[in-house]
A = this chain, B = another copy of it.
Amino acid sequence: MLEHELTFRVLYSDTDKMGYMYYGRYAKYLEMGRVELLRTLGLSYKLMEDNGLIMPVLDLKLKYIKPLYYDEEIILKTKVTKRPSSRIHFEYELINPEGMLTTKAETTLVFVDRDTRKPCLIPDDFNQKVTLYFDEHLGEN
């Protein structure tokens, strides 16, 4: 299983009048999680896009278990638990400073050719760095 961890701080900009992080402000942090997971594998989403590939999001699920509050430092764990095919599935957990699981999320992204806007094959470097990981660690899953 591929896993990555980063920390972000809840901005005033993220809060709403309830004092919680607004439910629509999580998506940008999930984006940060998956892009940084790829970066630690040596994959730049920017380079992939420059090379003609885009990865639109197909679905998003968010389960808000506990609120996030202003200025909290939140740990975001991002995981790829399944071998990617033409799609790649990410799972996320957000942990607050008290160590409590506050949020669970999932997204599925699809590989699309930037110019034709049709689904396309998983690119070679992505395949080597992500997909093969799952082949090599087959016994562990």
Contacts and interface: CB of A to CB of B under 8 A. Distances in A.
Interface of A: 11-13, 15-20, 22-28, 30-32, 35, 44-46, 49, 54, 56-64, 67, 70-71, 107
B60 A31 contact: no
Contact of A61 (B30, B56, B61, B67): B61
Contact of A60 (B12, B32, B57, B60): B60
B27 A27 contact: yes
Q: Which of A11, A44, A67 counts the most B-chain CB atoms under 10 A from its CB?
A: A11
B22 A13 contact: yes
Work out how many copies of this chain go into the complex: 4
In the A-B complex, the 7 residue pairs with the closest CB atoms: A24-B27, A13-B28, A15-B17, A46-B71, A23-B57, A60-B62, A17-B19
A35 B10 CA distance: 12
Contacts of A54: 18
B23 A27 contact: yes
Nearest to A13: B28
B44 A71 contact: yes
B17 A13 contact: no
Given A13-B28, A31-B11, A23 B60 contact: yes
